[in-house]
């Protein structure tokens, strides 16, 4: 758990009040920091638990939580006379330190040893203790943990017994499925997890006969999608395709809706039997029901069609796979590699379709490959949007305008919105404010309910310095009740996802994040960063420092600051933005990647940006 999230766990001591001389939060001047540090060190010596919690909160607010000496003193004070509460608190403080030193670890070790020597016996395990332990223990320790489970009376606990079954079932050196079955048979009460864990253990060990017997003995009401899929997969993998398809049909008769995993298992049975009709039915079912197609399911479909002699159908599916790869390379700024794949398709007997052509043109647009993209466009009508994007981003605005006008003459307002939107983005990118204003007004007529149209037109007007007109567009947007989709950035850390919006202070580690953000921005400015204070997003802010402050709290920067304090130095950051990344945050991310030696992958609405060593994979072309 993060340190900031646990600071209020203990009540603050009323005797401790600290009022820093500076009104700013998150960054303390050097002299004030030294004075505060001396005060905190004095208070850490012999402080009560509540007062130590207050000290911890003060350290977070002032940024001194990053001082190893001070944090070590806090941990030592919490560990000096440990109780169950202060010891847990100390462990949470240690969790918030990115790289604890030996002194910090020693303080916790000493506290634990003191607790063990105290008169009161150590706390007994509860029903949550062993499941967590079983997930982490190695095969050679499994029997020892099992013995403790029996000794402490938790062998009859369903949650603990299920964890034992799962641990034995996946273990090759501790008895495997045989020991898992012993635990299973001795359970006074079983749930669906018990049955499914045992089934999975048998299938993983290749004991399909035992798995089928267990499945048949399983109460019908307890069988869920996982139960059916496990045994279907086991039969298919064991060369029993008829049994696999019979079970698949039984699952449907039981009223369960197949998912991608169960469909892939059934397709394996179809492939082995050459059962084309059943395989085609599954393919149609996937389309009809909108099943999310993952790589396993695609490969199973290709394998089924190939083994049933329907090579053309398999090739059509292969075209989808190649198209996805071309698109993926394109949005990652690897346009030439995408075109290499596109040109390789005919050599492998694959014929690109309209979607493949669109992916290739989009790749050209993201990489500025105008000459290479022209021959792929074929009939202009199907690819107006791609061509306007390609020409416009390359700065060929007049050619892009002619293409957009041609699209307008061909009809279809939906397509026109996409085409004109691409031209507006290109106009903004190349500073052609007159064209941008003209196109923006066209878009307001075509799509007056879309908030992005108003925002983009306001940005164009602001870029030309026409602030009153930009403000009028934003006012019109409010009058019509049109709302802009708020920008949001998400970052994955330790298996969790943290989301931020601009100016967000709702995160439990908000004080730490803003302290790191202030340090980060100061460091960027020392190396040439200057906030881009001319954007329309800053309408209503008169002073330059107000605009700079608003830019500093953009969601992308908050996500980066959180990533810097939550991950190991040198590790990568992965950020997802629901809108296009702004120019200011793009420039900041490049500099962060260089100064902090971080690899930052940022995905926005249209493409990926890989920041490394001060450059971006898009080549500033987005």
Q: Are 93 and 52 contacting, i.e. CB atoms less than 8 angstroms apart? A: no
Measured between alpha carbons, how far is 330 from 357 in angstroms, rounded to an integer?
Answer: 12
Q: Are 583 and 618 contacting, i.e. CB atoms less than 8 angstroms apart? A: no
pLDDT for 591 equals: 95
pLDDT for 2 equals: 40
Q: Which residue has the tokens 């070790």?
A: 109
Fold match between 129-315 and 377-484? yes
Q: Are 150 and 118 contacting, i.e. CB atoms less than 8 angstroms apart? A: no
CATH superfamily name and code, 129-315: Tetratricopeptide repeat domain (1.25.40.10)
Residues 6+ apart with CB under 8 A from 417: 443, 446, 447
| Chain segment 94-113, per-residue pLDDT in tens | 887 878 887 788 777 777 76
Residue of 580, 214, 235, 572 whose CA lies nearest to 425: 580
Residue 593 has pLDDT above 60, yes or no: yes
Question: Mean pLDDT over residues 463-480, rounded?
Answer: 84
| Chain segment 552-581, per-residue pLDDT in tens | 789 999 999 999 999 999 999 999 898 889
In angstroms, what CA-CA distances link 542 with 265, 294, 462, 549, 550? Answer: 63, 51, 13, 12, 12
Mean pLDDT: which of 109-118, 373-382, 440-449 is highest? 440-449
| Chain segment 133-168, per-residue pLDDT in tens | 777 676 667 788 888 888 878 888 888 888 888 888
Mean pLDDT, the chain, whole residue set = 80
Sequence spans of domains, the chain: 3-117, 129-315, 377-484, 488-616
% of the chain exceeding 90 in pLDDT: 23
pLDDT for 38 equals: 67
Residue 521 has pLDDT above 90, yes or no: yes
Q: Beta partners for 575?
A: 491, 602
Measured between alpha carbons, how far is 542 from 544 in angstroms, rounded to an integer?
Answer: 7
pLDDT for 578 equals: 86
Within 13 Å and on the Cβ side, how many CA atoms surround 474?
17
| Chain segment 33-85, per-residue pLDDT in tens | 666 666 666 655 555 667 777 778 877 877 777 888 778 888 877 777 556 56
Residue of 330, 323, 348 whose CA lies nearest to 393: 330
Q: Are 486 and 506 contacting, i.e. CB atoms less than 8 angstroms apart? A: no
Q: Which residue has the tokens 């050209």?
A: 364
The verdict on domain 377-484 having CATH code 1.10.540.10 is no
Measured between alpha carbons, how far is 201 from 214 in angstroms, rounded to an integer?
Answer: 11
pLDDT for 141 equals: 77
pLDDT for 352 equals: 85
Identify which has the larger pLDDT, 470 or 50: 470
Identify which has the larger pLDDT, 424 or 115: 424
Residue 255 has pLDDT above 60, yes or no: yes
Measured between alpha carbons, how far is 252 from 91 in angstroms, rounded to an integer?
Answer: 50
Measured between alpha carbons, how far is 461 from 455 in angstroms, rounded to an integer?
Answer: 10
Measured between alpha carbons, how far is 357 from 473 in angstroms, rounded to an integer?
Answer: 37
| Chain segment 86-95, per-residue pLDDT in tens | 777 888 888 8
pLDDT for 541 equals: 42
| Chain segment 416-466, per-residue pLDDT in tens | 788 888 898 888 888 888 888 888 888 888 888 888 888 888 888 887 778
Measured between alpha carbons, how far is 124 from 111 in angstroms, rounded to an integer?
Answer: 18
């Amino acid at each position: 758990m993060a340190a900031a999230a646990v600071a209020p766990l203990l009540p603050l001591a009323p005797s401790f009040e600290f009022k820093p001389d500076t009104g700013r939060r998150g960054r303390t001047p050097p002299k004030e920091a030294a004075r505060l540090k001396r005060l905190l060190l004095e208070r850490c010596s012999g402080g009560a638990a509540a007062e130590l919690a207050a000290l911890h909160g003060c350290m977070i607010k002032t940024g001194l939580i990053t001082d190893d000496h001070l944090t070590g003193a806090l941990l030592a004070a919490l560990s000096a006379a440990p109780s169950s509460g202060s010891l847990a608190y100390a462990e949470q403080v240690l969790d918030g330190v990115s790289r604890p030193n030996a002194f910090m670890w020693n303080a916790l070790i000493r506290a634990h040893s003191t607790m063990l020597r105290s008169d009161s016996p150590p706390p007994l395990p509860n029903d949550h203790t062993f499941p967590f332990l079983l997930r982490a223990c190695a095969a050679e320790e499994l029997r020892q943990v099992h013995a403790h489970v029996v000794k402490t009376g938790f062998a009859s606990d369903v949650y603990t017994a299920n964890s034992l079954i799962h641990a034995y079932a996946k273990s090759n050196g501790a008895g495997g499925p045989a020991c898992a079955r012993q635990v299973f048979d001795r359970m006074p009460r079983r749930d669906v997890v018990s049955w499914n864990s045992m089934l999975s253990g048998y299938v993983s060990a290749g004991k399909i006969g035992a798995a089928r017997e267990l499945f048949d003995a399983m109460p019908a009401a307890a069988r869920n999608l996982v139960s059916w899929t496990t045994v279907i997969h086991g039969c298919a993998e064991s060369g029993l395709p008829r049994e696999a398809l019979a079970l698949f049909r039984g699952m449907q008769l039981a009223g369960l809706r197949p998912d991608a995993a169960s469909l892939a298992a059934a397709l394996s049975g179809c492939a082995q039997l050459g059962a084309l009709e059943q395989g085609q039915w599954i393919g149609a079912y996937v389309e009809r029901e909108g099943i999310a197609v993952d790589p396993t399911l695609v490969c199973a479909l290709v394998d089924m069609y190939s083994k049933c002699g329907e090579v053309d159908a398999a090739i059509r599916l292969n075209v989808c796979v190649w198209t996805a790869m071309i698109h993926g390379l394109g949005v990652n700024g690897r346009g030439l590699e995408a075109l290499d794949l596109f040109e390789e398709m005919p050599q492998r007997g694959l014929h690109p379709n309209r979607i493949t052509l669109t992916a290739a043109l989009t790749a050209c647009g993201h990489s500025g490959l105008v000459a290479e993209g022209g021959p792929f466009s074929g009939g202009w009508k199907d690819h107006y949007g791609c061509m306007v994007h390609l020409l416009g981003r390359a700065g060929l605005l007049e050619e892009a305008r002619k293409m957009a006008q041609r699209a307008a003459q061909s009809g279809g307002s939906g397509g026109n919105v996409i085409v004109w939107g691409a031209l507006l983005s290109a106009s903004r990118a190349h500073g052609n404010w007159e064209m941008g204003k003209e196109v923006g007004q066209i878009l307001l007529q075509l799509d007056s309910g879309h908030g992005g149209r108003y925002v983009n037109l306001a940005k164009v007007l602001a870029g030309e310095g026409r602030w009153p007109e930009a403000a009028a567009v934003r006012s019109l947007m409010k009058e019509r009740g049109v709302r802009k989709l708020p920008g949001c950035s998400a970052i994955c850390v330790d298996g969790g996802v943290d989301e931020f919006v601009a100016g967000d202070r709702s995160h439990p580690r908000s004080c730490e994040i803003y302290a790191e953000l202030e340090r980060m921005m100061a460091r960027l400015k020392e190396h040439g960063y200057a906030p881009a204070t001319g954007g329309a997003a800053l309408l209503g802010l008169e002073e330059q420092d107000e605009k700079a402050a608003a830019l500093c709290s953009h969601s992308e920067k908050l996500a980066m600051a959180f990533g810097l304090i939550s991950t190991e130095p040198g590790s990568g950051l992965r950020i997802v933005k629901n809108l296009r990344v702004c120019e200011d945050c793009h420039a900041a991310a490049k500099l962060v990647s260089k100064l902090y030696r971080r690899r930052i992958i940022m995905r926005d609405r249209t493409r990926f940006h890989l920041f490394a060593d001060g450059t971006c994979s898009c080549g500033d072309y987005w």
